[in-house]
Amino acid sequence: MLEDNFWQDKLNSQKIIKEKKLFEELINSYAYTVNQLKDLNDLYELAKEENNIDIQNEVSQNIFELRLLTKKNEIKCFLSNEADSLDTYIEIHAGAGGTESQDWADMLRRMYLKWSDSKDFKYKIVSEHKGDEAGIKSSTIKIEGNYVFGWLKKESGIHRLVRISPFDSGARRHTSFASVWVYPVVDENINIEILEKDLRIDTFRSSGAGGQHVNTTDSAVRITHIPSKIVVQCQNERSQHKNKETCMNMLKARLYDFEMKKKEKQNQNAEESKSDIGWGHQIRSYILQPYQLVKDNRSNYESTSPDKVLDGEIDEFLEQSLYQTR
């Protein structure tokens, strides 16, 4: 930061400032916890000598809160991979099952948007296809915030819902599936080479029931990267040029994520993640009936408050998934 030309590269300077802020917060928080722990220990010893039970209980409560703060700092230390600090795209696709799965996909989208609101992150809907009767067939969301990809990167996979269907007149229990795919928004410092001959670009009219996120012009764009078979599309912008630009940025992000997964020796890509949206592939189950439970099949973490989870309270699940990476 002390270099004369530091501020000339705006993107790089912003990245370094973000990293500096994170490190400063970690260092300051560590120093605070060390000092607090020392003070609480001295206070506890004094209260013990005077046999003051109230002060001893107060110290125990403060130590509990200090442990929670330490845990949060520990989680932040896990967000150290190259792409963790980047913004993210989230794609949500309804599985087989028509209205049931489309409504479930909409519930998942709402969950991530509520979580984003709770963090004061910014988001916008890049592309969306409404369901025939309710919900959505698919949706692509861009979320901007500190280390948002790092937080959400383990959400990719199949999410399963079990509930009494509000669309079934017989009030029978239904199982629905939807897929989630999370990948980082790459910045200009990351060079992704895309050849024109490898692209198929299609334009089409936006479809849907209308609303503030649905374009009303014939400017929607779909780009297929032929070698990888990756498909991206955008219909949110007002012009075909802007939609194409957004699609190219999404394609770069998908290709970057694809290469990252190869380096990490993970044997799945975007198409494999979406190919089997059904039994045996889910990463998390949300059970509303006959009992209340949300269970992550990778970390085995559970919550008996699915309503809170679907309202965006997913931090515990995100933290547990980060622990699994170590």
- Look at residue 80 in the predicted model and tell me its pLDDT: 77
pLDDT of residue 280: 55
Instruction: Note the pLDDT of residue 12.
Output: 72
Q: Are 173 and 289 in contact (CB under 8 A)?
A: yes
Where along the chain do its domains lie? 6-78, 88-323
DSSP 8-state code for residue 8: G
pLDDT 10s digits, 235-260: 887 788 888 888 988 998 888 888 77
Full pLDDT tens readout for the chain, 326 residues: 667 677 777 767 777 787 788 788 889 988 999 999 999 999 999 999 999 999 999 999 999 999 988 888 888 788 878 788 889 999 999 998 789 999 999 999 999 999 999 999 999 999 899 988 889 999 999 999 988 999 999 999 999 999 998 888 788 889 999 999 999 998 666 677 888 899 999 888 765 444 444 444 568 899 999 998 899 988 887 788 888 888 988 998 888 888 777 766 544 444 444 445 555 568 999 999 989 999 999 999 999 999 999 999 999 999 998 887 65
Chain-centroid distance of CA 49 in Å reads 50
What per-residue confidence (pLDDT) applies to 273? 47
CA 271 – CA 209 distance, rounded (Å): 28
To which H or E segment does residue 322 belong?
A: helix 315-323
CATH topology of domain 88-323: Alpha-Beta Plaits (3.30.70)
Return the number of other C-beta atoms located less than 10 Å from residue 258's C-beta: 16
- The CA distances from residue 188 to 62, 161, 193, 249, 313, in Å, are 45, 39, 12, 10, 33
| 255 contacts 231 by C-beta, under 8 angstroms | no
Answering whether pTM is above 0.85, one says no
What pLDDT is recorded for position 307? Answer: 96
- Provide the pLDDT for residue 212: 46
